[in-house]
Amino acid sequence: MRASRNRVNRLCSSQRLWSVHSRKRGLNRKPGPPVHDDLVRREFTAERPNQLWLTDITEHPTAEGKLYLCAIKDASSKRIVGYSIDTRMTSELAVNALRNAIALRGPVGAIMHSDRGSQFRSHAYVRALRDAQLRGSMGRVGACADNAAMESFFSLLQKNVLNRQRWTSREQLRLAIVFEKTYHRRRRQDALGRMTPIEFETLTQAAPAA
Give DSSP secondary structure letters for 25-71: ----------SS--SSTT----SSTTSEEEEEEEEEEETTEEEEEEE
Q: What is the phi/psi pair of residue 108, to 5°? A: -135, 125
Assign residue 193 a region (left: φ > 0; alpha: ψ between -120 and 50; beta: otherwise).
left
Residue 26 has pLDDT above 70, yes or no: no
CB contact at 8 A, 79 and 201 = yes
What distance in Å separates the CA atoms of residue 206 and residue 178, rounded to the nearest whole number?
A: 26
Please report the domains of the chain, with CATH numbers, ordered by start residue: 25-209 (3.30.420.10)
pTM over 0.85, yes/no: no
Helix, strand, or coil (residue 92): helix
- Mean of pLDDT over the chain: 81
Residue 30 banded pLDDT, cuts 50, 70, 90: low
Segment 102-146, tens digit of pLDDT: 998 888 899 999 998 899 999 999 999 999 999 999 987 656 677
What distance in Å separates the CA atoms of residue 115 and residue 99, rounded to the nearest whole number?
A: 18
Q: Across residues 40-59, what is the average pLDDT? A: 90
Helix, strand, or coil (residue 136): strand
pLDDT of residue 180: 47
